Amino acid sequence: MAPKKENSTNNVYFIETSSRDTAADWANQAMVLYRKGKFANHLASDRFVAIKQHFGEKGTHGFLPPVIAAAFAAAVKKKGAKPFLTDTCTLYRGQRSNAVDHLMLCQAHGFTIDQVGCPVISADGLIGVDQVMVPIRGKHYQQVPLASAACQSHAAIILTHVTGHVACGFGAAIKNVGMGLASRAGKLNQHFQSTPLVKASVCTACGHCARWCPRDAITVKKSAVINEKLCIACGQCHAVCPVGAIGFKWDQATQVLQEKIAEHCLALHQVLEGRVCYFNFLVQVTADCDCMGGKETPLKRIFDDIGILAGRDPVAVDQASADLVKQATGKDYFQKLHPSIDYTAQLAHAEKIGLGSRQYQLVQVKS
């Protein structure tokens, strides 16, 4: 790795945490990194700053607690800028598929103005169609639809709870932006690759998959049947099946999905011209993303807490996150979780299209 240069784009700042630390401790530690990396330097007085994070699904517990967002909101306001918390609508049914229900969920999970000091705004509008087409030079796209509020902001802070992921193997900063700030049209295009496969001998015909399908593409008789013409390959049926009867041929589908996600992340970087910083939280890491909190709770963390990382390059921050997990556990844990998925495809493609570099300088910071 290159010699250390303070505030270099490829510096990844890291602070250790312990499983005894509280959410308030995480907030304080994140602020230490925020100051060390001088991330306030790209903020401007009276300009909008998007703080992007996952607010959890109904019944979940794995999302980053409001106290962390509150710390960032206060730091942004200290600079004279105008922070707001944000996320987008989901493809699947649930309490995040439209802005009204999503904001009510935020309220229930403690993301209120009183608690975090700024409003929550749906980045892609009421039903996920408020978008801006951003030109890029990618393998799959020449333009991508991003959520309007993200494009209308002056800067962004990306708060990511790192987890495993059912379709990507590894959910970190690139996925949080690339999928999380894509409009509904962007999400649809990312996922439209291959139809899930139903193993009839395992299916119990419970109908759970049909109730959660966002396109009513599943009917249930003796077993679930998926209409290939209606299916958008979002993977929700696979995620919610209680008996593991639905799967994918991930070898091709996941690589394309990861590449498309990386290209959406590239679009945000072009719009904000480097005024983005990324904070990856390797705490209470679970096998699946925060959408699946009904299955995965903080009590089912898959390894001990490791720490918080921060940087301006999402590829470097994500690569460092994966490397630290290998170092702490002695294994490529995300590959172990989803052995049929090569999660490094997103990192390799992101580097290839110019989003960032997998080479980085780790700068360890003390609390």
Which top CATH class is 195-247?
A: alpha beta
The pLDDT of residue 232: 77
Q: Residues 123-150: pLDDT tens digits?
A: 999 988 899 999 999 999 999 999 999 9
**99: enclosing H helix or E strand:** helix 99-108
Sequence spans of domains, the chain: 11-190+252-364, 195-247
- Is the predicted pLDDT of residue 113 greater than 50, yes or no? yes
Angle made by CA atoms 309, 314, 320, in degrees to the nearest 5: 45
Q: Residues 289-325: pLDDT tens digits?
A: 877 644 444 446 788 999 999 999 999 999 999 999 9
- Is the predicted pLDDT of residue 14 greater than 90, yes or no? yes
Bridge partner list, 277:
157
The pLDDT of residue 16: 98
Counting every residue, how long is the chain? 367
Q: How far are the Cα atoms of 54, 175, 279 from residue 60, in angstroms, in the given order?
A: 11, 19, 21
Residue 235: pLDDT band with limits 50, 70, 90: confident
**For residue 137, what are the contacts with CB-CB under 8 A and spacing of at least 6?**
353
Prediction pTM value: 0.86
Q: Superfamily assignment of 11-190+252-364 in CATH?
A: LarA, N-terminal domain (3.40.50.11440)
CB 280 within 8 A of CB 318: yes
Average pLDDT of the segment spanning 77-99: 90
CB 247 within 8 A of CB 340: no
